[in-house]
Structure 1
């Protein structure tokens, strides 16, 4: 290392400096080797030797990184496996729901079917709950995702959900989306409003517009965009070390969560969840690239923000915004402003907060999130029933 430092730090115009620096380095080498004295070599030869030495190391490093990267891209040594993901996901649901669910793939989207008895509601009834994984993630199909423009990027998610609905022959349903899923859910609702009864956006991303152009983004973000790097790329790029990395990342993330978090209370097994995260993240890159196509720093929308879609002039569907009451890094004030604007126009809009939770509201405080979600549906139903009565009264009068 000392030789490499010498080679890159000396100027070839300072002949005297060569001798002094060589002597200093040789003295260090002599002490480390137990040799009384080491003669200084010819300055030019010494520099040439150092350059060759450093070139070999640099070439070796480039070769190592290239081979490692190629092995990871070709998935030659990644232990990620879709069948393992399916098994682990099944085990997680089984722990919470027993045998009252089924896993399937509908129109290319990973789907969990859960007949749900609303024992927590004031008026128990049987509901049908579908937990759907967006295209390009989880157990869903993972096609190449390289959209040429914003319209193609949106269609990748919107049209796949519409195909899913058509295959299941659903006429009307309540659509609930979280984070970027809430962004896609809004785009879907804007295009296919007649298929929906109510839209629930949980800690949504992209509510406000970005103030940056692509050229104004941090250099690191532009490089990540050009290389299609996402947080999940770390799991893929680490090859056989990926499971250990994800295990450490999940453990670190859980340590920041409130005591009510499902993992910290023991409701959700940590090892099982860490395995799920790894096999989800390390599979083929696809939908996760949307973090670049749809968002800018600060969870701002790269394209059309939700605040410009959910407006009285364009939006007629009931909508509920739900945020974590703790350190939710999605800015609540933007969602609250959207709700206030709709309410001022006499449109149904609700703003709710889940206590002791951050962005992952359903994991940070599961029971409170369930209550908030059920209350959101019930309150909308009551408001709809009251509106029908008023309209009937006006018609009969």
Structure 2
């Protein structure tokens, strides 16, 4: 068992911790420790357990490790509010070192996808493949989805009077996702105080401040990272996404032959929530491609 690992969680995920920069970062994993590894990074206001529906069908063949990125889930909040790609990528590097991962597939949604692009361009020797869920150059800055997220951050209450009120908030925010995804958000992104109030488990104010007030130096142009990719890469776009445009998704494939783009029907920016079977079908096909299949059998692609 790895240093820092605890006993099995009630959901049958193993939990662990990695220290970096004075913060304790929490991660969960499914599958055998000896199996080929997939590392998963969640989005802006999400959490490691968002990957559970994706991970469970894969756990018979793969080890899936999901990180609560700083300020989210059970990971520590950053008192200096350093919620930027530069820090997230260093956190990922610390996790990879802590787990002694030699070669793995990296999966990222939205913000986690941006972090995954950057890591992949810097560490091609570590990756067998890269999977990006609805993220691409410019999406965080100029898309309609980026504007929607900014409005959501500004309008998000700091607390709720009850669990029912908290769940109602998430249903208004994400009216098209299934009830199981709503309940996962309530369970893993919120907590109750002793007086009964329901508050955010993540650093809502710090994350919003970083997202809304980032300087040009703190923003990342993803095009150089996309163009530098040297590993098989799958970009999954929700067909109804307001965040990653079809034009940008196609341009990524045009600029780099390693990038394969696929649209998942009946899905918005939250692809694996909206259409899990469609997401799984595309992901499993990618993992079964010849180069990735060789990696999954223990060889190097």
Structure with the greater relative contact order (CA < 8 A, sep ≥ 6): 1 or 2? 2
Residue 241 (structure 1) aligned with residue 161 (structure 2):
yes
* 8 A contact 1:142–1:284 mirrored in 2: yes
* 8 A contact 1:145–1:289 mirrored in 2: no
Distance in 2 of aligned mates of 1:289 and 1:230? 13
Provide the aligned length of Structure 1 versus Structure 2: 251
Residue 253 (structure 1) aligned with residue 173 (structure 2):
yes
Q: 1:245 to 1:231 in 2, by over 3 A?
A: farther
Residue 376 (structure 1) aligned with residue 296 (structure 2):
no
Q: Match of 2:200?
A: 281
* 8 A contact 2:70–2:88 mirrored in 1: yes
Q: Match of 1:106?
A: 18
The C-alpha deviation readout for 1:126-145, integer Å capped at 9, x for no partner, is 21111112122111121124
**Greater share of residues in strand:** 2
Query: What TM-score do you get using the length of structure 1 for normalisation?
Result: 0.53
Q: Match of 1:186?
A: 117
* 8 A contact 2:240–2:266 mirrored in 1: yes
- 1:62-73 counterparts in 2 under 5 A? none
Distance in 2 of aligned mates of 1:140 and 1:377? 29
* 8 A contact 1:182–1:201 mirrored in 2: yes
- 1:354-369 counterparts in 2 under 5 A? 354-369=264-279
- 1:207-226 counterparts in 2 under 5 A? 207=138
The C-alpha deviation readout for 1:236-271, integer Å capped at 9, x for no partner, is 2x4x5375653222122343x1xxx442xxxx2755
Uncovered stretches (5+) of structure 2, i.e. residues with no partner: 1-8, 36-54, 192-198, 296-300
Q: Match of 2:243?
A: 329
Q: 1:283 to 1:232 in 2, by over 3 A?
A: farther
Q: 1:321 to 1:125 in 2, by over 3 A?
A: same
Residue 138 (structure 1) aligned with residue 52 (structure 2):
no
Q: Post-superposition shift, 1:208? A: 5.6
**Greater share of residues in helix:** 1
Distance in 1 of aligned mates of 2:265 and 2:290? 21
Query: What TM-score do you get using the length of structure 2 for normalisation?
Result: 0.68
| Aligned-pair Cα RMSD in Å | 3.9
Distance in 1 of aligned mates of 2:241 and 2:84? 30
Distance in 1 of aligned mates of 2:215 and 2:253? 22
Q: 1:382 to 1:329 in 2, by over 3 A?
A: closer
Distance in 1 of aligned mates of 2:222 and 2:85? 13
Q: Post-superposition shift, 1:358? A: 0.9
- 1:1-397 counterparts in 2 under 5 A? 94=11, 99=12, 101-107=13-19, 108-115=24-31, 126-147=61-82, 153-204=84-135, 206-207=137-138, 231=153, 234-236=156-158, 238=159, 241=161, 243=163, 245-255=165-175, 257=176, 261-263=177-179, 268=180, 270-271=182-183, 273-279=185-191, 281-285=200-204, 286-287=206-207, 289-292=209-212, 303-311=219-227, 314-343=228-257, 348-379=258-289, 381=291
Q: Post-superposition shift, 1:191? A: 2.6
Uncovered stretches (5+) of structure 1, i.e. residues with no partner: 1-89, 212-217, 386-390, 392-397
**Bigger Rg, structure 1 or 2:** 1
The C-alpha deviation readout for 1:135-192, integer Å capped at 9, x for no partner, is 2211112112445xxxx93331111111111111111111111001111111222333
Distance in 1 of aligned mates of 2:289 and 2:80? 39
Q: 1:169 to 1:364 in 2, by over 3 A?
A: same
The C-alpha deviation readout for 1:15-68, integer Å capped at 9, x for no partner, is xxxxxxxxxxxxxxxxxxxxxxxxxxxxxxxxxxxxxxxxxxxxxxxxxxxxxx
